[in-house]
Amino acid sequence: MIRHLFKLIWNRKRANALVIAEIFVCFLVLFAVSTLSLYSWTNYHRPLGFAYENVFSIDVQFSESRPEASRTSVSGPAGAAPAPPGVENPHESRQRALLAVVKSDPAVVDAAWASPLPFSHSNEVRTFAFRKRDLSYSLARCTDEYKDVMGIEITRGRWFGPEDDGGGYEAVVITEALARRAFGDQDPIGQSITGDRDLNGPAEIERRVVGVMRAFKQEGEMETEESYVLTRVAFSAAQMRRIGSMALRMKPGADASVEARLARALQAAAPDWSFKVEPMVMGAELNRRLYMAPLGVGALVALFLILMVALGLSGVLWQSVTTRIREIGVRRAMGASGMDVQRQVIGELMVMATLAMLGGIAVVLQFPFLDLLGPVPKSVFFAGLSLTIVGLYGLALVCGLHPARLATTVHPAEALRYE
Amino acid sequence: MLKNYLKLSLKILGRRKFFTFVSLFGIGFTLLVLTLAAAMLDHIFSSYPPETRGERTLVIDNVRMQGKDSMSTGPGGYALFDRYMRGIPQVERLSILSQPETVISYWKGARLKSLIKRTDADFFRILDFEFVEGGPFGEADVGDGRFVAVINETTRAKFFGGAPAVGQAIEVDGQTFKVVGVVPDVPIFRLMATGDIYVPVTTAKTDDYKTRLRGGFHALFLLRDKEAVEGVQQEFKARLGKVELPPQFDRIYAVPETFFASFARLFIGDFEAEDAGGRMMAILLTAAALFMILPAVNLVNLNVSRALERASEIGVRRAFGASARDLLLQFLFENVVISVVGGVLALASSAIVLALFNASDLIPYAHFSLNWRIAAWGFAFALAFGVISGVWPAWRLSRLTPIQALAGGVK
| Short-list A34, A40, A47, A43, CA closest to A383 | A34
Ranges A143-147, A221-225, B285-289: which has the least confidence: A221-225
Provide the pLDDT confidence category of residue A202 given band limits of 50, 70 and 90. low
d(CA B370, CA B122): 31
Contacts of A72 in chain B (CB under 8 A): 72, 213-214, 246, 248-249
Within-domain flag for B30 = yes
pTM, 2 dp: 0.85
Residues B26 and B171 in one domain: no
| Residues B221 and B102 reside in one and the same domain | yes
B92 and B136 part of one domain: yes
Distance CA A118, CA A220 (A): 7
**Which segments of chain B have a pLDDT < 50?**
411
How far is it, in rounded angstroms, from Cα A155 to Cα A211? 8
Residues B161 and B129 in one domain: yes
A278 and B104 within 8 Å at the Cβ level: the answer is yes
CB-based contact B294 A29, cutoff 8 Å: yes
Average pLDDT over residues A39-57: 94
- In this structure, the answer to whether residues B81 and B217 fall within a common structural domain is yes
Name the residue among A238, A245, A230, A324 with its Cα closest to residue A277: A245
Examine residue B264 and state whether it is found in any structural domain, yes or no. no
* pLDDT value of position B25: 92
**Torsion angle of C-alpha atoms B63, B68, B70, B75, degrees rounded to 10:** 0
Q: Residue A326 CB: number of other CB atoms within 10 A?
A: 15
Q: What is the sign, positive or negative, of the torsion defined by CA atoms of B366, B372, B373, B374? A: positive
> Which residues in chain A have their CB less than 8 angstroms from residue B300's CB?
18
- Of A239, A119, A114, A231, nearest in space to A178 by CA: A231
Please tell me the predicted confidence (pLDDT) of residue A203.
66
Residues above pLDDT 90, as percent of chain A: 49
Cβ <8 Å between A256 and B110: yes
Whether the pLDDT of residue A65 is over 70: the answer is no
The pLDDT of residue A63 is 77
The amino acid present at A244, given as its one-letter code, is: G
Q: Which site among A10, A16, A22, A321 would you substitute to test the B interface, given the most B Cβ atoms closer than 10 Å to its Cβ?
A: A22
Distance between CA atoms of A146 and A156, rounded to whole angstroms?
17
* B301 contacts A316? CB cut-off 8 A: yes
One domain, residues B125 and B26: no
Give domain status of residue B119, yes or no.
yes
Instruction: Name the domain boundary from B219, B253, B287.
Output: B253
Residue A25 has pLDDT above 60, yes or no: yes
**The pLDDT of residue A69 is above 50:** no
For chain A, the C-alpha Rg in angstroms (whole number) is 31
pLDDT at residue A143 in the model: 94
Q: What's the domain count of chain B?
A: 2
Instruction: Tell me the β-bridge partners of B149.
Output: B179
Mean pLDDT of A268-294: 89
Percentage of residues of chain A with pLDDT beyond 70 = 91
- pLDDT band at A64; cut points 50, 70, 90: low
Which pLDDT score is estimated for B345?
A: 95
| Residues B147 and B192 grouped into a single domain | yes
- The pLDDT assigned to B363 comes to 85
The closest alpha carbon to B347, from B55, B35, B22, belongs to B35
What is the per-residue pLDDT for B411? 44
pLDDT tier at A83, thresholds 50, 70, 90: very low
* Boundary of a domain, candidates B237, B253, B269: B253
Tell if the CB–CB gap between B306 and A11 is shorter than 8 Å. no
- Report the 10 Å Cβ neighbour count for B397: 26
Q: In this model, does residue A70 exceed pLDDT 70?
A: no
pLDDT at A227: 92
Same domain, B110 and B227: yes
pLDDT at B401: 77
- Say yes or no to pLDDT of A310 above 80: yes
Residue in A57, A35, A116, A51 with CA at minimum distance from that of residue A254: A57
**Same structural domain for residues B223 and B75?**
yes
Q: Which domain holds residue B355?
A: 2-46+278-406
Quick one: chain B helix, strand, coil %, rounded to 5? 50, 20, 30
Q: Is residue B365 part of a domain?
A: yes
Query: Is the same domain home to B208 and B104?
Result: yes
Q: Are residues B194 and B67 in the same domain?
A: yes
Question: Is residue B265 one of the residues assigned to a domain?
Answer: no
What are residue B171's DSSP bridge partners? B176
**B220 and B180 together in one domain:** yes
Contact by Cβ (8 Å): A117, A284:
no
d(CA B275, CA B287): 19
Contact between B71 and B59 (Cβ < 8 Å): no
Q: Where does the pLDDT of residue A80 fall: very low under 50, low under 70, confident under 90, or very high at 90 and above? A: very low
Minimal Cα distance from A308: which residue of B?
Answer: B26
User: Could you report the per-residue pLDDT of A227-250, keeping only the tens digit for each?
Assistant: 999 999 988 877 888 899 999 999
For residue range B112-159, list pLDDT tens digits in order: 999 999 999 999 999 999 999 999 999 999 999 999 999 999 999 999
pLDDT score recorded for residue B403: 78
Q: For residue B357, tell me if it sits in a domain.
A: yes
Q: How far is residue B12 from each of residues A291, A331, B18, measured CA to CA in Å? A: 45, 33, 12
- The C-alpha torsion from B239 through B244 and B249 to B255, rounded to 10°, is -20
Cβ-based contacts of A309 with chain B (< 8 Å): 294, 298
The question of ipTM being above 0.95 is answered as no
B57 falls within a domain: no
What tens digit of pLDDT does each residue of A251-265 get?
998 888 899 999 999
C-alpha closest to that of A377 among A160, A224, A170 = A224
